[in-house]
Chains A and B, each alone.
Chain A
Amino acid sequence: MTSEITVSGKPFIHHHSAHCESGVISALLRDKGLEISEAMGFGIGSGIFFGYFPFIKWVGLPISTFRSRPGTLITKVAKRLGGDIFTKKYRNLQKGMDDLRHALSEGHLVGLTTNIYWLSYFPNRFRFQFNGHNIVVLREIENGFRVSDPVLEHLVDCLTEDLERARFARGPLEPRGFMYYVKSVPSNPDLRAACIAGMKDSCNMMLRIPFPFVGIRGMRYLAKKTISSPDKLGFKEACRRLANIVRMQEEVGTGGAGFRFMYAAFLQEAADLFASAELSQLSKEMTAIGDIWREFAVVSARIVKQRAQSEETFEKAGGLMLICAGREEQMFRDLDKIARTLKA
């Protein structure tokens, strides 16, 4: 944690977060006087998800994701807490930068969606062409901006040139200079109602989307594909695919086990809020599921590292994923039932 003074003279405390979107929205809300943890923001905004999209390729690999679509979490949190949030996209780079300076001068903390490749303050191996990274800008400094990047432990400086490129990068999921700040938030929002809405939404996304590539269905589909992949694609290509799943699960700032631990932390906080023993039990279950996802990562890494000599097999890796799918399905069904009985 590092502290800093914002433009409006308020102290700003940087919290190290696991996920960029939930980290940014909780920082923006804290600045407006609403104390909210990252995990709480993640749960209210229904950040948890699973999706596997074999028809969308990124560097020749199908996309798998453990999070909801980039950009949705922020607006969902603001809406469910009754906050008033300003959002805008730009066609013109200069206009986007002018508006950023203007919003800063009005004393707002400003959230931006950026391309992570062009943010040169990151270590090289974190950088890849991904257009959904979110950061908070505190104030303008000479040649750049003071930035609170939630996934880093400390505050950083970002060059103006880097920020311009990052905000207006082209390609899939273009940020188009997307900028947002919280105009106001009720000082005493209905946190309980927001939690319930977040839980129900997550259950719907995991259980009820009638589409074979998302939610629990997607998990089962991917598990079966993984088991048959060495025969169908050859060992090398199967390893690439498997490694990519593990990267999406562990590497891209997830707090461990593809956001499952963060969701368990949310359920734990919600259990306190509602004084519900059932939710507390579900939090423990989610932790256990997260541990299986971690085991899946370990098994996969062994396959990738030792190649054909490994004792681990694709059947085992896929089997672990099937276990996760089964237990998550039960977990979300239980959560769905409990969320309906909770009183706002």
Chain B
Amino acid sequence: MKVNEVPQDITYYEGEKRACYALNDEGRYVVVSSTGWSTEEVVNGLAVEELAAKLEETRKAVLSGAKSPLCYHMERRQMNPEILAKTAGIAVFRLKRHFRPEIFARLNPSMLSSYAQALATTLDELKTVPE
């Protein structure tokens, strides 16, 4: 890749830049800042869309009463049950039970606060999902 071939497509970097290695006119490697590559945007877009779609599905499931808000907040933090269980310090099977709304509703405050701490949310946020 030559310096003038380093992609400068405006993508999702929010003003940040990434370093790329490219050859200058003398054939020496130099570090060039890149604003992003459209190819990268396509594959990243696919992953982001997938996460967003899954989150939206979960949000609807919470509103319809099929899942507890805990499940939504876990996915919002891009966690899976294994990571959240470790962070909150409980067993995975207990965590999964807490995805059931009727069980989540009965949780004691200390359990809830350890979830809130693990997910970096407030207690009120943890009990609801955005409408």
Contacts and interface: CB of A to CB of B under 8 A. Distances in A.
A266 to B, nearest CB: 9
Interface stretch (A81-89, A220-228, A294-302): A294-302
A251 B43 contact: yes
B97 interface: no
B112 interface: no
A261 B1 contact: yes
Interface stretch (A193-201, A237-245, A335-343): A237-245
Interface stretch (B65-73, B80-88, B101-109): B80-88
B29 A261 contact: yes
B116 to A, nearest CB: 13
B82 A305 contact: no
Contact of A16 (B1, B31, B38, B79): B31
How big is chain A's contact interface, by range? 35 or more
A48 to B, nearest CB: 13
Given A165-B120, A291-B1, A255 B19 contact: yes
Q: How large is the interface on B (under 10, 10 to 19, 20 to 34, 35 or more residues)?
A: 35 or more
Interface string B56-81: 00000000000000000000011110
A153 B16 contact: yes
B44 A125 contact: yes
A123 interface: yes
B48 interface: yes
Contacts of A39: 21, 29
A264 B31 CA distance: 12
Contacts of A244: 43, 47
Contacts of B78: 59, 117, 127-129
Contacts of A153: 16-17, 19, 33
Contacts of B13: 123, 126
Contacts of B19: 16-18, 151, 153, 253, 255
Contacts of B12: 123, 125
B78 to A, nearest CB: 5
A46 interface: no
Given A171-B82, A244-B47, A301 B39 contact: yes
A321 interface: no
Contact of A264 (B15, B21, B33, B38): B21
A287 B2 CA distance: 10
14 contacts: A17-B19, A18-B19, A123-B16, A126-B16, A127-B78, A128-B78, A171-B83, A171-B87, A244-B47, A247-B47, A261-B1, A261-B22, A287-B1, A304-B43
Interface of B: 1, 6, 12-23, 28-29, 31, 33, 37-40, 42-44, 46-48, 50, 77-80, 82-83, 86-87, 120
Question: Closest 8 A-B residue pairs measured CB to CB?
Answer: A265-B29, A123-B14, A170-B86, A261-B21, A171-B83, A243-B43, A301-B42, A301-B39
Given A18-B20, A301-B39, 13 more contacts: A16-B17, A18-B18, A118-B120, A122-B16, A123-B12, A123-B13, A129-B79, A152-B16, A170-B83, A251-B40, A253-B18, A297-B43, A300-B43
